[in-house]
Amino acid sequence: MQNESSDERYEQFVSLFTRHEPGLRAFVRSLVFSWDDANDVMQNTGLVLWRKFDSFDQNTDFMRWACVVARFEVLSWRRDKARDRHVFDEDLVNLLADEATEVHEALSRERRALEFCLKKLPEKQRRIIMAAYEPGVRLNQVAEALGKTATAFYKTLNRARKGLLKCVESQVVSEERGRA
């Protein structure tokens, strides 16, 4: 990253941090007692990530790196708050962090598989799935817009869901085998 300008580095950091902030916040929240505590840790984590961004290897996973930093920030925060009876002990924080990392990795695999499988669906089924999961939409409205009865639409949607689920499960297994 030495050849990059300061502005380019800053933009790259902001882009990565913004993309991964919700997942990182969820990770931190799983390790501390309250939302306010999570906000404090996230603020410190963001600062540390920026200060150490020069040492970040572009060929590695930003989220994994950020979670390692966040874990240490939670432990530091915990030491500062050790007198508070609402603070988890260090062993529990480490256990929760390990579990949160595993969950994040599993969800990432499932999300990649879902994206892959959605692309493989026939256009008609993909449109039905996407329409059914549009925020704020009612399924009977989707059925009506497609010129189907609610019952026919639900049957079509369930067939598409089952096919999608089967594909996702197969992709996840395939990816796990590839990693082993």
Q: How far is CA 81 from CA 40, 71, 75, in A?
A: 12, 15, 10
Residue 46, pLDDT score: 94
Query: What's the pTM value of the predicted model, to 2 decimals?
Result: 0.50
**Segments forming the whole domain that contains residue 47:** 1-111
pLDDT for 70 beyond 90 = yes
pLDDT in tens, 82-102: 665 555 667 777 777 778 777
pLDDT in tens, 13-68: 999 999 999 989 988 998 888 888 899 999 999 999 999 999 998 888 899 999 99
- How many independent structural domains does the chain possess? 2
**Helix, strand, coil percentages in the chain from 3-state DSSP, rounded to 5:** 80, 0, 20
Q: Say which CATH number the domain at 72 has.
A: 1.10.1740
Residue 16, in any domain of the structure: yes
Quick one: pLDDT band at residue 1, thresholds 50, 70, 90?
very low
Whether 116 maps to a domain, the answer reads no
Question: Is residue 42 one of the residues assigned to a domain?
Answer: yes
